Structure 1
Amino acid sequence: MSDLTAKLTLNDGRELTLPVHKGSLGYDAVDVQALVKNHLFTFDPGFMSTASCKSSITYIDGEQGILLHRGYPIAELAEHADYLEVAYLLLFGERPDKTQYQDFIKLVRNHTLVHEQISRFFHGFRRDSHPMAVMCGVSGALAAFYHDALDINNVAHRELTAIRLLAKMPTLAAMCYKYSIGQPFMFPLNKLSYAGNFLYMMFATPCEPYEVNPVLERAMDRIFILHADHEQNASTSTVRTAASSGANPFACIAAGIASLWGPAHGGANEACIKMLEQIGSVDRIPEFIARAKDKNDPFRLMGFGHRVYKNYDPRAKVMRQTCYEVLQELNIQTPLFDVAMELERIALNDPYFIEHKLYPNVDFYSGIILKAIGIPVSMFTVIFALARTVGWIAHWKEMYNQGNIKIVRPRQLYVGHEQRVFTPIDKA
């Protein structure tokens, strides 16, 4: 807490002095906890001006386009680390040394298998179920299979739960895909990397050998890194809210997955691809650009701009290069990718886009990459959930490590009827 204070003066003569907390980076925060004692509380729809917790995991400066994990810029992590190294950093606060890194990889590999009975659980879903619906169900069902270490007040149990979730999410995600297309589930192949193993479980079959393309493996690893955590977003806040009640950690993650499913959150890259398909061809782009600029037209360009970043999304810079590497490697020539590249060119040069800071964001490029790799659009958000799981776990762990957890209980500004008398219906 800093020496600064904030004074709130009401026109009824009341004056309140509120303490101000100072973070290591970013804005100061006025502590408004004392308001309730004076029969007041803040009104902040969307909680855009509210800090719900103290955290040392991720920092975002939307004005400057900065994203740091434990102080490290996201571009440096994506360039020089792999996903499991970033996962270790998020979970434990510091980078691992070589021995810690190798031990961590072995530990994760020891938990990549899921209980065999979970495979039967899938058969309760319709074949045409959306993979995110299945993912919500099976992730929550993990609590029914791994209840040997669920004392959330036990540090060792929390560590084991974190590793289990990190290790099993790729297996479950690939199973969601395989079930949807009627192919047999593929067991993890632990000699592969985290990203390589996921691609193997997605695309291999028992019929013939499958070799992981190193360019696609690196692209998938970067997608995982760039989606690993993003501060107090909707799904992370959902996980923390559920955890504040002492809920089962697998249920907390399932809640996060449900929140992520929304088109305004994790479904954005899916919406982006659907938009590109709607445009259809390069010659129709001017029509849709005009519609996007028309305030009276409900059409919006998906994959451009960001609620947090008022500058270029720092993740998009990395993803853009990766996108070009993948398209070059696969040598795919389709109208959809032609539309995407022309839209990108316009967005980076058109004065309207520049003035309104509608730069291509990470969802724009990641959707193109996933589509090029051969992953169906319905699986995009599942992969986002897979990658974001480590961020959710890191915040869940941080909550319990900090202690003194208060159950989340937002207030409301009531605008309904005042108290009135209820008359029995037969006397009305």
Structure 2
Amino acid sequence: MAVKSGPRQSLTVIDNRTGKSYELPIKNNSVLATDIKKIKAQSPDDIPEDETSQGLRVFDPGYMNTAVVQSKITYINGQDGILRYRGYPIEQLVQKSNFLESAFLLIYGELPTEMQYAKWQDEVNNHTFIHTDMEGMFKTFRYDSHPMSMLTAAFATLGAFAPEANPSLRGQKLYTNAASGDLESLKVLDKQILRILGKAPTLAAASYRMRQGRPFNRPAKGLSYTGNFLQLLDNLSEREYTPHPVLEKALDTLFIIHADHEVNCSTATVLQVGSSLVDPYSVVAAGCAALYGPSHGGASESAIRMLMEIGSPENVPAFMEKVEKRERVLVGFGHRVYKNVDPRSTAIRALAEEVFKVTGRNQLLDTALVLAKYARESEFMRSRNLYPNVDFYSGLIYQAMGFPLDFYPVLFAVPRCVGWLAHWRQQMLTPSGVKIWRPRQLYMGSGERDYIEAKDRQVKKDSTIFDAPVAVSHGGDSKRSQLAILKEEKVRAKL
């Protein structure tokens, strides 16, 4: 009896330029980009810079549909509003777990046993202190420097205090050797993870205290991860400082929610930089730089600024009218991945109510709720899948807890270190080795042309404001300097 075979797991592509057929294997609902390169054909419209002989390329601005890694860490289904860490729904972790336990899960793949967790917690807490010279580094910043600028620099500087962790000094395979079971390499790798997770709250708090003009606090024993963070932020030399349990729990919950979110902008940056095999401190600093942007980690700050500008609930319709006319940008709604309700925002909304019971009702909450109601009922919003996202509600909680607006991205960066390090560790442990990331481009510039001497050059006829530096305003001292006759000019004048 003949066995009936199922459909072939492949994609057949016919190149209409040549009539040639190509069969591309499909695995995990994807095709290899390198298989696309097998499709080659000359076209009369091709230019040499198209590199047609090297095969067809995939043009995907912003990575809209390009998978760059195989990962076991975080799963997101944007259509159905699903977020899972290592298979565990975010809703369950928020209700039953804590941040350090979820961190272990993300980095090592399983929830820790009681013994594993106790050792993990002790190890992280034992790495909370920073070298005193790091405090000097913070003091070099202006008083009004953005805390995220300080934190980014701090992580990069921290690497200078760990030369044993630098592949440039210890050999480029310092971390990748761990993939083959090299125990010493694995010890170095995991030690840096402990150091970064332990010191992240200390560095973040130092940026806050520097901004406040207050002396730095020392880490305290016997507190939770977020409890110690609050102590580092707020203790004014009280003999015994104990954070409010509701605020401590709220921050811990927000840390779980912000710990990872698959290959987002900052995580992609971490993996891009990590593929060069640089040390993890530089990797995390790069992640901070990406997170800093208003389209990423700075979104919660921008959302609150928007609510402050709207002012009161009765102003929402007028503001939304401008949004619908594309005169204003709506912040805190919609998401690159989620085309449904952001599961993180659902968990945070319930958390917000608990916080408001302690701190008092946030004056912007009424405006925010009216805006959220408008989003649910507006055809303009529904048709564009614009629902409140995690930044919308987290900003409200941060403001209720008394954090300054410019500290919001830092509160995002501290827990996101876990996700960054989980993905970095997974990358270093890739059995086949780490290939440096090197995206392709479509070159759209000039073809080959000959050099023109300066005296023969002319401004092109169709030039725009983008084709030369715009005029830059200078201070009074610069103007005086420009008007001054310098010694070199006097010499030239005599020649």
TM-score, normalised by the number of residues in structure 1: 0.94
Equivalent in the alignment of 1:379: 407
Letter in 1 for 2:390: V
Deviates more, 1:355-364 or 1:190-199: 355-364
> What corresponds to 1:67 in structure 2?
83
Between 370-379 and 396-405, the greater mean CA deviation after superposition: 396-405
> In structure 2, what residue type is equivalent to 1:289?
M
- How far the C-alpha of 1:158 sits from its partner, in A, is 0.7
> Partners in 1 of 2:378 and 2:293 — Cα distance?
30
AA of the residue aligned to 1:418: G
Pick from 14, 17, 20: which aligns with 1:9? Answer: 14
Equivalent residue for 2:32?
Answer: 31
Query: Mapping of 1:213-252 within 5 angstroms?
Result: 213-252=244-283
Whole-angstrom distance in 1 between the partners of 2:33 and 2:251: 43
What are the Cα deviations for residues 294-330 of structure 1, in whole angstroms up to 9, with x where unaligned?
A: 2xx3312211111110000000110000011101221
Give the CA deviation at 1:18.
2.2
Matches within 5 A, 1:412-427: 412-426=441-455
- The aligned residue for residue 290 of structure 1 is 321
Does 2:289 match 1:258? yes
1:24-423 maps to which residues of 2 (within 5 A)? 28-36=29-37, 38=40, 39-150=55-166, 151-153=174-176, 154-207=185-238, 209-294=240-325, 297-332=326-361, 334=363, 336-403=364-431, 404-423=433-452
Query: Secondary structure, in 3 states, of the residue corresponding to 1:219?
Result: helix
Give the Å deviation of 1:48.
Answer: 1.4
Give the Cα–Cα distance (whole angstroms) in 2 for the partners of residues 167 and 43 of structure 1.
41
Superposition deviation, residue 184 in structure 1 = 1.0
Q: Is the Cα contact below 8 Å between 1:149 and 1:160 reproduced in 2?
A: no
**Residue 25 of structure 1: aligned partner:** none
Residues 107, 418 of structure 2: 8 Å contact kept: yes
Equivalent residues of 1:228, 1:391 under 8 A apart = yes
Give distance in 1, aligned partners of 2:277 and 2:383: 46
Task: Quote the offset at 1:3 in angstroms.
Answer: 5.9
Q: Report if aligned partners of 1:312, 1:359 keep a CA contact under 8 Å in 2.
A: yes
CA contact (8 A) 1:184 1:205 kept: no
Structure 2: tracts of 5 or more residues without a match:
1-6, 41-54, 167-173, 177-184, 458-495
Cα deviation code 1:364-416 (max 9, x no counterpart) = 11000000001101000011111110000000000011142110011111111
**Matched residue, 2:483:** none
Identity %: 41
Any conservation in 2 of the 1:4–1:20 contact (CA below 8 Å)? yes
How far apart in 1 are the matches of 2:58 and 2:201?
Answer: 41
Q: Which has the larger radius of gyration?
A: 2
Q: State the match for 2:481 in structure 1.
A: none
Amino acid in the other structure paired with 2:342: D
Q: How many residue pairs end up in the alignment?
A: 419
Structure 1 pair 184–57 and aligned structure 2 pair: CA distance change class (3 A): same
Cα displacement string for residues 84-140 of structure 1 (whole angstroms, at most 9, x for unaligned residues): 011000110011111111111011011011111100111111110011111110111
Cα distance in 1 for partners of 2:66, 2:135 equals 42
Q: Which amino acid aligns with 1:10?
A: D
RMSD of aligned C-alpha atoms?
Answer: 1.7
- TM-score, length-scaled by structure 2: 0.82
TM superposition shift of 1:351: 4.5
Change (3 A) 1:12 1:346: closer
Distance (whole Å) between structure 2 residues aligned to residue 323 and residue 348 of structure 1: 19
Amino acid at match of 1:402: T
